[in-house]
Amino acid sequence: MFADSKGAVVFVGGGHTNTIYARNSNELHAGGYETYLLLYRGELGYFTDSIGAGLKDISCGTSEIIKYIASDLADNAEVMGATGVSAGSMQLGFGLTVHGLEEILDVVLLDLGPVHADMVSACFTFSTPARGRILDYAHDWFGKGDYCQVGSGPESFIPILKA
């Protein structure tokens, strides 16, 4: 219980960046804010066990966790913010535009991302093997063409990536 809470801040890492916010969360906590750090386990971080779901639907889980923090955990959810790094920015971006977080969060800082703001470019133009692997996994193309890993795929996938 945090009786004199100034508000709550949620830190959302991308993929395997779970510890990047440790120092910042400690400083905010010492300053009177409740802090929540989302940690993802598994080989692909928050993508683990989400094969074929697509990035928009994968980000729903992060939004539901933040909603739970606001409704059941935070002592002062009247002042609530979140920050995301890399793919954490993507999760918050989808949360604000698709999953209803704009009703909960007063301040959002997107830091170092979102890396997948333009999915077509992320997959086909600026793909890297690591990013491509995650994108192929999220779209169920991993081991079935590996289109984002190799940086090219059928034109018919462009509408899927844009959606």
Sheet holding 107-111, edge to edge: 34-38, 8-12, 80-85, 107-111
Query: 66 and 20 in one domain?
Result: yes
- pLDDT for the residue 18: 55
Q: Residues 122, 108: one domain?
A: no
CATH number, domain containing residue 94: 3.40.50.1820
Same domain, 39 and 72: yes
Tokens representing 60 are 């729903």
Domain region containing 34:
1-115
* Residues 105 and 163 placed together within one structural domain of the fold: no
Are 51 and 127 contained in the same domain? no
Which residue among 82, 98, 115 closes a domain?
Answer: 115
Q: Running along the chain, 163 residues long, what does each successive block of 10 average in pLDDT?
A: 84 69 76 87 70 78 95 95 86 92 95 72 80 80 87 86 79
pLDDT at residue 153, as a whole number: 85
pLDDT at 2: 67
| Domain end (from 98, 115, 132) | 115
Same domain, 128 and 108: no
Which pLDDT does position 44 carry in this prediction? 67
Asked whether residue 45 falls in the same domain as residue 108, the answer is yes
> What was the pLDDT predicted at 1?
61
My answer on whether 106 and 72 are in the same domain is yes
Pair (132, 105) in one structural domain: no
Query: Is the domain of 39 the same as that of 97?
Result: yes
32 and 96 belong to one structural domain: yes
Domain count, the chain: 2
Q: Indicate whether 77 and 89 sit together in one domain.
A: yes
